[in-house]
Amino acid sequence: MSKVILITGASAGFGKACAEHLAEQGHRVYGTSRRAQFPQEAIDYSQPLLIPMDVCSQESVEKAVHFILEREKRIDVVVNNAGMGVAGAVEETSVEEARALFETNFFGVLRVCRTVLPTFRAQEFGLMINISSLGGLVTLPFQGLYSASKYALESISDALRMEVQPYGIKVVVVEPGDFRTNFSESRVVSAESNDNSLYKQRCDRAIAVMAKDESEGYDPRLLAELLGQIIKTKSPQHRYSIGPLSQRVAIGLRWLMPSWLRDRVLMLLYRV
């Protein structure tokens, strides 16, 4: 059955792959991008429609949701995918940089959820899929603030799931590992991580390892196919992890190691 699907951050990477795949499956897909424009002509539902939304702006979120509801009268699925990455030592990441990260990765999701949930509740159904990360389960060196934003998303998703369950609303978290997207190129490095930084050499080595792993990661279409299966599933799991087997095994083993050993292994892997 065709669903009306809203996907944030759909101009590239995961969002674009998911939007294209779900449109191919016959769903009515509305992707969002800060640089898009509302269409003036008739909508071609064989392709995902890109509409403007800045998840850091409540007004922008409301306009996009209103646009969809005016045309479709419902929203069946929301995929909270919009996100950004900030790398750098915790000491060298400013409060302003951390706030900008959380505005997108955490508060952006909160804005979209708060705006769509009244519609879900009135419908007595709805599926909220929040794209987290394996980095929201294990923190990597020099990516502490990014991991913190994803840990926060994991937590709020669990609370939301329990709160909205009586209204027929489902909440699912998807935790990707390394995929071949534009994430490496768009990752922001904190301003203080410059040539005068005490952490620079170690930070640069860690980021290089991350970039290499991402360049050799999975095709984002695999995540898109997983979303397609989740949307078809009557009773989806609370969480889905997807990515290279070695990463998923490492996540599973994290609680079996003492914290000092886990830290040591990660420091060796990321050459810090």
**Alpha carbon distance 63, 69 (integer Å):** 10
State residue 185's pLDDT score. 81
For position 255, what pLDDT does the model report? 74
Domain harbouring 137, CATH code: 3.40.50.720
Rounded Cα gap, residues 102 and 181, in angstroms = 21
Q: CA-to-CA distance for 223 and 242, rounded, in angstroms? A: 7
Could you tell me the two tokens for 206?
Answer: 């860690």
In angstroms, rounded to a whole number, what is the distance separating the alpha carbons of residues 45 and 100? 34
DSSP state of 75: -
The domain in which residue 157 lies consists of: 4-269
**Confidence at residue 253, expressed as pLDDT on a 0 to 100 scale:** 74
pTM of the shown model: 0.93
Mode of pairing for the β-strands spanning 4-7 and 77-80? parallel
Catalytically annotated residues:
11, 132, 146, 150
Total tally of structural domains belonging to the chain: 1
pLDDT in tens, the chain (272 residues): 899 999 999 999 999 999 999 999 999 999 999 999 999 877 787 899 999 999 999 999 999 999 999 999 999 999 999 999 999 999 999 999 999 999 999 999 999 999 999 999 999 999 999 999 999 998 999 999 999 999 999 999 999 999 999 999 999 999 999 898 878 788 999 999 988 899 999 999 999 999 998 888 889 999 999 999 999 999 999 999 998 777 777 777 777 889 898 899 889 989 99
- Closest Cα partner for 118 from 82, 74, 57, 80? 74
Tokens 């998840």, residue located: 55
